[in-house]
Amino acid sequence: MPLWLRNSLVVLITIITFGLVSPAQASELLSVEPKDTDRPDTFESVSIHSDDVKTNSEDYGSFVSRIMKEAEEQSFEKFGSRIGPVIEDEFREIILPNMEVAIATVAVQFPEERLANLEVTEVPGGGFSEKIFHIVNEQKSDIIRFHVRRDNPPQEGYWFNFHYHTYHDQFQTHYELGTIFWDKNTPPKWKS
């Protein structure tokens, strides 16, 4: 099976089952097994845990670890000193593992030699902006965008809706990462 088809199927299955499969189950599904020794760029899928990574996939594990560290830093910079301490625990338990699955899904779409060219944008949006961070390629074109939106359903208070968009559909679809309840009162602006 061609690599592009296999990677497309991994992405499609991840999108279809998103929310139904826990990050732990997804990481088991994404374990690296070289399919053919003549073609080292061909993989069944990718592991997102660095301690489980085999020699052939260290670059994937390193990529996910590097991006996750930057993702966490950018997220807490966006939350600021007023929102961050209030939602920190739920963010680490609910949102970060789902981000890790989404980032691992992006990683399998690129050959290992191109992963070093992918990077996290440096400045999260403040005020009312949804942007947490984007992952961009060597041409600085967005690959995946991680956002958080403030939702205020009637009589329910304020919620933070974490989601991401991908370049596959020109960033139109919201892929849910999770929601965190804030309070009945209006939350402060981001980065405050």
Predicted confidence at residue 3, as pLDDT, reads: 57
Please state the domain extents for the chain. 3-183
Residue partners of 50: CB distance under 8 A and separation at least 6: 61, 62, 64, 65
Q: Which stretches of the chain drop beneath a pLDDT of 70?
A: 1-58
Give tens-digit pLDDT for 7-49: 555 665 665 555 555 444 444 444 444 334 443 443 343 444 4
Please state, in angstroms and rounded to a whole number, the distance separating the CA atoms of residues 159 and 140: 31
Global model pTM greater than 0.85:
no
Nearest to 98 by CA among 75, 121, 81: 75
Q: With beta carbons less than 8 A apart as the criterion, state whether 126 and 78 touch.
A: yes
Predicted confidence at residue 192, as pLDDT, reads: 87
Q: With beta carbons less than 8 A apart as the criterion, state whether 88 and 27 touch.
A: no
